[in-house]
Amino acid sequence: MFKTYEKYIIQNFIKKFLSISLVFFCLIIILSVLEEISFFKELNVNVFYPYILTVLSSPITLFEIFPFIFLIATQYLFYDLFRKEELTLLKINGLSNLKIIKILFITSIMMGILTVIIFYNVASKLKFFYTDIKNNFSNDNKYLAVVNNSGLWLKDEINGNILIIKSTNIDDNLLKNVVINEFDQDFEIKRIIQSEAVDIDKKEWLVKNPTITIKNISEKNDDDLNFLTNFDKEKIYKLFSNISTLNILELFNLKKDYENLGYSSDEIKIHLLRLFSTPLFYSALTVLSSVIMFNFKRGRSLFFYILLGILTSVIIYYVTFMFSSMGKNGQIPIMTSIFLPIVLISIIATIGLVRVNEK
């Protein structure tokens, strides 16, 4: 069982984390609601729509900045301990600086596991509801892209026609084994176009050697067919990039479907690895923040520590973003892109721990 002073540190740390999270959540809502109001200003909808959508989308944004909340919460905790001179009292009770950091380290890991298992899955579902509701008011609602076990499916509407397109796999700017079903507005079939390869580099697709079926009569063409759609390579890839609306199980299923389709699943792998490494990242930042606090002169203002926390967070954000981008682009291995920043932070924190008990 935890001793009284250990419980005090854990409870105090969690309170600091929750209070700072609440502050950031309010800031996210204030900043996001303006964007939603701007989106709905031309639409005849209930006045509460922007606020409801803001609340639905904000938790996933909060999850993304949790690492820096852990860093700032640790600084806030030690600032309080220094200000109230409680650190001396804890030392009298046999709690060294290193043991305090150890308690915070373990607490951060446990909180990280809970945030991934519970908070992330709830936040991703809320984000899904947000996307689903907002798509009903978007001009792109008539377009649809789905990946499942049978391949890639696209729904499109253009020039008064409805298109249902299926492809078994995608290779850079080529759709392979394509079937295009073209319907009129009453969903009466007009023609079926089949091709082994379609160039989708532009919105005017180049259908290679198509077989066109009209009224059950098929004709093979040696010439390529120009076919206008609302999709191109960039738009199709972009439709698959919003993985924050999926929970962990759905991410695994989508990864499998992407690999069956031939579409790169690197972004999903990076996202999953980042989720699984989240507890380690939180704990590394907590230790780093503790070391920073012990190595700065005490008695400084709260404003100084806030600036210090923001500066440290910005540096860490850009370092992790740089490695993540390199991983997505294939410049470095995916595992390296996720774990190298954590290793670097851990090394710096470990160096700072060498003489932390003397502080």
User: What confidence tier does 1 reach under pLDDT thresholds 50, 70, 90?
Assistant: very low
Q: Is the confidence at residue 35, as pLDDT, over 70?
A: yes
What's this model's pTM, rounded to 2 decimal places?
0.76
What would the pLDDT profile of 177-233 be if each residue is shown by its tens digit?
899 999 888 888 899 999 999 998 888 999 999 999 988 888 888 888 999 988 888
How large is the average pLDDT for residues 86-90?
A: 78
Quick one: which of 237, 349, 347 has its CA closest to 293? 349
Query: Shortest CA distance to 105 belongs to which of 354, 284, 346?
Result: 284
Give the pLDDT of residue 359.
60
d(CA 210, CA 226): 10
pLDDT in tens, 247-306: 888 888 878 777 766 666 777 888 899 999 999 999 999 999 988 888 776 667 767 777
Q: pLDDT class for 150, splitting at 50, 70, 90?
A: low
Secondary element (H or E) of residue 278: helix 278-295
Contact 67, 282 (CB under 8 A): yes
Calculate the CA dihedral of residues 189, 193, 198, 199 and round it to 10 degrees.
Answer: -60
Q: Which range in 9-18, 41-50, 242-251, 295-304 is most confidently predicted, on average pLDDT?
A: 9-18
Higher pLDDT, 145 or 323: 323
